Amino acid sequence: MFYRDTIIRSAGLINLVEVVDRTTDETLIKHGCWALSNLCRGSPLPKYDLIKSAIPVLCRAIAKSRVTDREILADCCWAISYHSDANKNKIQVVVDSEVIPRIIKNLEESTMPLLVPSIRILGNISTGTAEHTNKLLSAGILNPLEKVLEHHKKVVRR
């Protein structure tokens, strides 16, 4: 991921974060979130310290319904899911962004590209502190989660 890492290290990600966070232009938000999500992904994943400023921006864009394109929304969710794993500080960033209700709403989706990363994000949050789990419960995760457990696809139920 030479080009991705070069862009991140040369402040390209930081500048893009500022633009996406400040603009009201829907096209710029769409393309900016797509670019940010791609800079946050790949194998190996970029170091969290280098991309951590993008995660709250992606979360806020989703939470405030600034991202409406399903494909871009799925890209953003995947990026968030990769970087909200197994660390309470990373999970707290996602929780603080107030994206949980929107991610729970994604559980109503029938499309796998959006459903799977949403489940991963919520699963990651549930592995955090008791307070993180309580945020999920108070946001109403149980009813939508029950439907997910009855999903016809095994990968979703798992």
Per-residue pLDDT of 74-131, as tens digits, reads 999 999 999 998 789 999 999 999 999 999 999 998 788 999 999 999 999 999 999 9
Confidence (pTM):
0.92
66 contact partners, CB below 8 Å, separation of at least 6: 26, 29, 33, 60
Instruction: Please identify which residue in the block is written with the tokens 């995660």.
Output: 55
CATH number of this structure's domain 2-157 = 1.25.10.10
User: Over 90: is that where the pLDDT of 67 sits?
Assistant: no
